Amino acid sequence: MSYSDKVLDHYSNPRNVGSMDKSSQDVGTGLVGAPECGDVMKLQIKVNPQTSVIEDAKFKTFGCGSAIASSSLATEWVKGKTVEEALQIKNTEIVKELSLPPVKIHCSVLAEDAIRAAIHDWKKKNGVEAKAPATAEAHQ
Amino acid sequence: MSTDVKTIPQEQHIAPNGIKLPIYMDNHATTPMDPRVLEEMLPYFMEKFGNAASRNHSFGWAAEEGVETARERIARLVGATTKEIIFTSGATESDNLAIKGVAEMYKEKGNHIITAVTEHKAVLDTCKRLEKYGYRVTYLPVQKDGLVDLDDLKRAMDDKTILVTIMAANNEIGVLQPWAEIGKLCRERGIIFHTDATQAVGKVPVDVNKQNIDVMSISAHKMYGPKGVGALYVRRKNPRVQISPIIDGGGHERGMRSGTLNVPGIVGLGKACAIATEEMPKESCHLAGLRNRLRDKIMGRLDEVYINGTMEHRLPGNLNISFAYVEGESLLMGINDIAVSSGSACTSATLEPSYVLKALGTGDDLAHSSIRFGLGRFNTEAEVDYVADRVVDTVQRLRELSPLYEMAKEGVDLKSVKWAAE
What residues of B are labeled active site?
A: 346
- For chain A, the distance separating the N- and C-terminal CA atoms, rounded to the nearest angstrom, is 22
Interface pTM, i.e. ipTM? 0.88
Closest CA to A39 of A64, A56, A60: A64
Q: Indicate if the pLDDT at residue B157 is higher than 70.
A: yes
Among chain A residues, the shortest Cα distance to B417 is held by A34
Instruction: Spell out which residues of chain A touch residue B330, defining contact as CB-CB under 8 Å.
Output: 11, 63-65, 67-68
Is 0.80 surpassed by the pTM of this model?
Answer: yes
Residue A111: pLDDT over 80: yes
CB B173, CB B318: distance < 8 Å: yes
For range B2-27, the mean pLDDT: 70
Q: What is the pLDDT of residue B352?
A: 79
Q: B206-244: per-residue pLDDT in tens?
A: 999 999 999 999 999 999 999 999 999 999 999 999 999
Query: Tens digits of per-residue pLDDT, B344-368?
Result: 766 666 667 899 999 999 888 899 9
3-state class (DSSP) for residue A48: coil
- Residues of chain A neighbouring B361 (CB-CB closer than 8 A): none
High-pLDDT (> 90) share of chain A, %: 85
**Which of A139, A140, A8, A16 is CA-nearest to residue A66?**
A8
Of A1, A60, A103, the CB nearest to B401: A60
Instruction: Check residue B246 and give its pLDDT.
Output: 96
pLDDT (tens digit, 9 = 90+) per residue, B321-343?
999 999 999 999 999 999 999 88
pLDDT category, A140, cuts 50, 70, 90? very low
Residue A3 — pLDDT band, cuts 50, 70, 90?
Answer: confident
List, in sequence order, every residue forming a beta bridge with A113; answer none if it has no partner. none
Chain B: residue nearest A2 by CA?
A: B333
Alpha-carbon radius of gyration of chain B? 23
Please tell me the distance from the alpha carbon of residue A99 to that of residue A96, in angstroms, as a whole number. 5
Q: What is the pLDDT of residue B11?
A: 62
Sign for the CA dihedral angle at B293, B298, B300, B306 comes to negative
Is B364's CB within 8 Å of A1's CB? Answer: no
Size of interface A-B (CB pairs under 8 A): 92
Q: Under a CB-based contact definition with an 8 Å cutoff, are residues B388 and B340 in contact?
A: no
- CATH fold of A5-125: Sufe protein. Chain: A (3.90.1010)
Cα angle: A110, vertex A53, B398; to 5 degrees = 40
Q: Does the pLDDT value for residue A16 go beyond 70?
A: yes
**DSSP character at residue A53:** B
For chain B, what is the mean pLDDT? 94
Cβ–Cβ of A64/B421 closer than 8 Å? no
CA distance B290 to B72: 32
Which pLDDT score, from 0 to 100, does residue B5 have? Answer: 36
- Calculate the alpha carbon distances from A88 to A29, A115, A137, B80 in Å: 18, 10, 10, 70
H-run or E-run covering A98: helix A91-98
- State chain A's mean pLDDT as an integer: 91
Nearest CB to B330 within list A35, A60, A68: A68
pLDDT over 50 at A136, yes or no: no
Query: How high is the pLDDT of residue B348?
Result: 63
In contact, A32 and A40? CB cutoff 8 Å? yes
Task: With H, G, I as helix, E, B as strand and everything else as coil, classify residue A99.
Answer: coil
Distances B64 to B55, B68, B214, B244 between C-alpha atoms, Å: 9, 6, 26, 24
Contact assignment for A35 to B419 by CB distance below 8 Å: yes
Instruction: Give the model confidence (pLDDT) of A25-72 as tens digits.
Output: 999 999 999 998 889 999 999 999 999 999 999 999 999 999 999 999
Indicate the pLDDT class of residue B7, thresholds 50, 70 and 90: very low
Cα-flanking dihedrals φ and ψ of residue B398, to 5°? -70, -30
Least confident of B16-20, B24-28, B325-329, B355-359: B16-20
* Cβ within 8 Å of residue B238, ≥6 positions away: none
Sheet of strand B112-116: strand arrangement: B85-88, B230-234, B215-219, B192-196, B161-165, B112-116, B136-140
Query: Within 13 Å of residue A105, how many CA atoms lie on the same side as its CB?
Result: 7
Torsion sign across C-alpha atoms B269, B272, B276, B277? positive
Whole-number pLDDT of residue B18: 82
